[in-house]
Amino acid sequence: MAPSQSGDAPDVSAGFTSVDRQPDTDFLVATMDATARWPAVRYLRSWERSHLALQPGEWIVDVGCGPGDVTIGRCGDVGAAGHVLGLDASTAMLDVARRRAAEAGANAEFGVGDAQALALPDGDRDACRSERMLQWVPDPERALAEMVRVVRPGGRVVIADTDWRSLMFDLIEPDVHAAVTEAFRAVRGPG
């Protein structure tokens, strides 16, 4: 998938750390949409949904909701008596999420949020989910602590993320392997 001709190419090293400062946010949304169709991501989301085991009337927060597709899907799980809140650092992603929720007739709420300092009271939610977001924040442990803080005792937190430290390259040439590994670490950081 190539970036649109309307702007400069996205800054690959920034990735999703600063979506709103990227020249082509539509490209980033399209990338997320394409990734959502991967069998592995569909399986991951199915696994997550079964482990969240949301019930009608429950309240859930989706931290790093992106364009909101999963957030919107959780509205059906909690029903009209429940509450689904999607938070993201990107207003561009939230604009897409709000539009998609309106088109789907979903009663999801969306807002700008910092995963490392959630503006929610302690124990405010029955559940929290986050997918592939921790890899983009400076302090993933703090973000995780915040997600745990806002979930009531006995609630559920389901996190799915990428551990880039465990990524392996199967390359025959040792020099090529070392160069690819080093380049990847330079772009992605320590993991």
Q: Is 72 part of any domain?
A: yes
pLDDT in tens, the chain (191 residues): 344 444 565 555 555 656 656 667 788 888 889 989 999 999 999 999 999 999 999 999 999 999 999 999 999 999 999 999 999 998 998 999 999 999 999 999 999 999 999 999 999 999 999 998 888 888 889 999 999 999 999 999 999 887 666 666 777 788 887 787 777 777 666 55
**pLDDT (0 to 100) of residue 1:** 39
pLDDT for res 136: 81
b vs e for 53-85, b when ≥16 Cβ sit within 10 Å of the residue's Cβ?
ebeeebbbbbbbbbbbbbbbbbbebbeeebbbb
Range of the domain at 101: 35-160
* Bridge-based pairing state of the strands 151-160 and 83-88: unpaired
The pLDDT, as a whole number, for residue 18 is: 67
Domain count along the chain: 1
Domain assignment present for residue 92? The answer is yes
Q: Per the domain annotation, does 114 fall within a domain? A: yes
**pLDDT for the residue 164:** 66
Question: Which of the 8 DSSP states describes residue 87?
Answer: E
The pLDDT value given to residue 97: 97
Residue 30 belongs to a domain: no
Q: Is the CB of residue 3 less than 8 Å from the CB of residue 28?
A: no
What is the radius of gyration, based on Cα positions, of the chain?
Answer: 18
At residue 43, what are phi and psi to the nearest 5 degrees? -65, -45
Q: What is the pLDDT of residue 46?
A: 95
Does residue 24 sit within a domain? no
CATH code of residue 103: 3.40.50.150
In a domain, 166, yes or no: no
Nearest 5°: the CA angle 29, 188, 12 is 40
Is residue 136, in this structure, part of any structural domain at all? yes
Q: Which long-range contacts (CB under 8 A, 24 or more apart) does 137-142 make?
A: 137/17, 142/116
- Within-domain flag for 19: no
> CA 57: distance to chain centroid?
23
Q: What are the structure tokens assigned to 134, written together?
A: 């921790």
CA dist., res. 116 & res. 114, Å (int): 5
Q: What percent helix, strand, coil does the chain show, rounded to 5?
A: 45, 15, 40
- At 19 the pLDDT is 62
